[in-house]
Chain A
């Protein structure tokens, strides 16, 4: 699809316009782009650079600096394991390891059939419920290894 016919670019354009094409609101614009496209593709980054009159290197530099931005598309479903301190000492690293083993992917990767992406988070701030795993944006607390593997199966079924 070209930029002219892809409605998502329209959404992005509107958001930049609302912010007055403010160069300093680059991070806000990247958030909108990621929400709209699901990830930040090279074309999207180039589009933003052009519209905000910023060098592409700068836009790429900012997009790659922050953990929150993804440069690759996500799978159909995603699971995020919290690796904050409270979750870590309650065994979230073991949950992560098991998921990696079972689906043959590492953190940040997607299964070859694009069904499942595995991600880790620095901390959701839900430390009282440690360990926390988020399945397709729905957080669950006090998770065990078995729960987690079952929930993932249920999700991708």
Chain B
């Protein structure tokens, strides 16, 4: 049991000491992406190779989370003290050569990955600082990297009010897409008088093409738990739920193990660090419903119901889970809390732009060379993200558009590539920040088809409760089909635009209100492709 900050530091020192004095590490990425390339088998082959050469006392295999460059998996990093070499595209057949290379130096040169390249050099890691470094299955490793210090600091030295003040100073905004200031949300809940309050972590990353939260939960689960516990202390809640997609079995496994370990050490549970504060966390599984990303629908799902949204107000801060005041934060938002408490809100406020502080994790996918996970300060331009960090468009094709914000977002064309990414600038461009999926589209794609893809997605995910969304998404899909078949008329084009406006203003929840965004943004920037779909009439 750990009951004080000193004991926590002792444990960290002990772990660091054993690590330093022992073996060099071969860190093998065990994120979902590398796992599907066979990284688990690779880890075993490397272990066998070390065993057969009797090198187990000099090297050890460490399973770590995502290092970001998923396009070039499986990634293995060889760490000797402070020096590290990164190897890319390693398969089980490379196990022998890799061990040769680290033993005798430099044999596997063609598979060495340059860590000075912009993909790594241009990133600023706060949320992902531990990803790819620590073993997510070992709480001691997290503690040795400064984990849970923020929680103990808050309990020992700060009042709940001071914690909230620090989060307010940091100006951290919700990373789930809405961008509502986290500190203000916490403050509202802390002010409500109620015997029972809840903290919910939204890990139902429903946007297709986004996998930031999955990587955080898989690579650094304790960071999420720490953020939730601090939120609980600040708001006066003693119970937390993590709502995770069932499609993320690895994340569920890592989080369950992390909760068990933290409870065993007394970091979660009754009277944490001899204080009056108690906090426990349970996992609730989602079951594949995009609408459950909407706050009230998510609450309905956690309660075991169909994920139907309801009218707001009352807001969750007054009437949330089982009618009690509830803070609902996204995984990435909560993962930012521990560093803010440790380093202070002012430190965080200094990173990023005037209105959007801190960093943002993006999932870069689609027609781009370096697909993977990146974390950059707010205000980085799209051009830097695509051409420097992302390495540009492969196969000699040309950039056409970038889609941000998933089915609720929009497409941004080439002329806006120098846009500094933050909440406001993306909104002004007709898209949204969303949770952080960025899908690059090259000139081989038809934008009307892309718009139809998103509309069809919203159609099948509409919960059916309100008519504008249920009927509107269906009618819009059928209309877009006419454009694709080049059978549309001029009046269809007017109807398309009108119906988008109706959906936006009359739908009950965010799903319907934002469903027209992909259509409206492609009409705004790629109108000619719609006009081509209008036949002779």
Contact A89 B441 (CB under 8 A): yes
Q: A121 interface residue, CB < 8 Å from B?
A: yes
Q: B33 interface residue, CB < 8 Å from A?
A: yes
Contact A69 B287 (CB under 8 A): yes
Contact with A along B199-216 (1 / 0, CB 8 A): 000000111111100100
Q: A139 interface residue, CB < 8 Å from B?
A: yes
Other-chain residue from A66, A85, A139 in contact with B36 (beta carbon distance below 8 A): A139
Other-chain residue from A24, A83, A125 in contact with B214 (beta carbon distance below 8 A): A125
Q: B524 interface residue, CB < 8 Å from A?
A: no
Contact B36 A140 (CB under 8 A): yes
Question: In the assembly, what is the distance between CA of A95 and CA of B44, in Å?
Answer: 33
With A123-B209, A125-B248 as contacts: A130 and B365 at CB distance below 8 Å: yes
Identify which of A1-9, A10-18, A25-33, A149-157 touches chain B: A25-33
With A27-B284, A66-B287, A125-B210 as contacts: A141 and B36 at CB distance below 8 Å: yes
Contact A30 B287 (CB under 8 A): yes
Question: In the assembly, what is the distance between CA of A7 and CA of B381, in Å?
Answer: 59
How many A residues are at the interface, by size bracket?
35 or more
Contact A67 B205 (CB under 8 A): no
Question: In the assembly, what is the distance between CA of A123 and CA of B32, in Å?
Answer: 13
Question: In the assembly, what is the distance between CA of A7 and CA of B445, in Å?
Answer: 52
Q: How far is the CB of A61 from chain B (nearest CB, A)?
A: 6
With A27-B304, A122-B247 as contacts: A85 and B285 at CB distance below 8 Å: no
Question: In the assembly, what is the distance between CA of A27 and CA of B437, in Å?
Answer: 28
Residues in A with CB closer than 8 Å to B363 are 127
Contact B36 A127 (CB under 8 A): no
Question: In the assembly, what is the distance between CA of A89 and CA of B403, in Å?
Answer: 11
The residues in A between 48 and 85 inclusive whose CB is less than 8 angstroms from any CB of B are 58, 61-62, 65-69, 83-85
Q: A45 interface residue, CB < 8 Å from B?
A: no
Contact A125 B302 (CB under 8 A): no
B71, closest chain A residue (CB): A128
Question: In the assembly, what is the distance between CA of A64 and CA of B406, in Å?
Answer: 25
Contact B209 A85 (CB under 8 A): yes
Contact A127 B37 (CB under 8 A): no
Contact A129 B36 (CB under 8 A): yes
Contact B439 A85 (CB under 8 A): yes
Residues in B with CB closer than 8 Å to A126 are 32-33, 36, 70, 211
Contact B71 A125 (CB under 8 A): no
Q: B152 interface residue, CB < 8 Å from A?
A: no
Contact A122 B290 (CB under 8 A): yes
Contact B247 A125 (CB under 8 A): yes
Q: B305 interface residue, CB < 8 Å from A?
A: yes
Most chain-A CB neighbours within 10 Å: which of B70, B301, B304, B437? B304
Contact B285 A89 (CB under 8 A): no
With A28-B284, A141-B36 as contacts: A127 and B403 at CB distance below 8 Å: no
Contact A84 B289 (CB under 8 A): no
Chain B residues in contact with chain A, CB under 8 A? 32-33, 36-37, 70-71, 73, 205-211, 214, 246-248, 284-290, 301-307, 363, 365-367, 371-372, 403, 406, 437, 439, 441, 445, 450, 453-454, 457, 463
Instruction: List 10 contacting pairs A-B, 8 Å CB cutoff, sorted by A.
Output: A67-B288, A68-B247, A68-B288, A69-B287, A86-B439, A123-B211, A124-B32, A126-B33, A127-B210, A141-B36
Chain A residues in contact with chain B, CB under 8 A? 22-28, 30-31, 58, 61-62, 65-69, 83-86, 88-90, 121-130, 132, 138-141
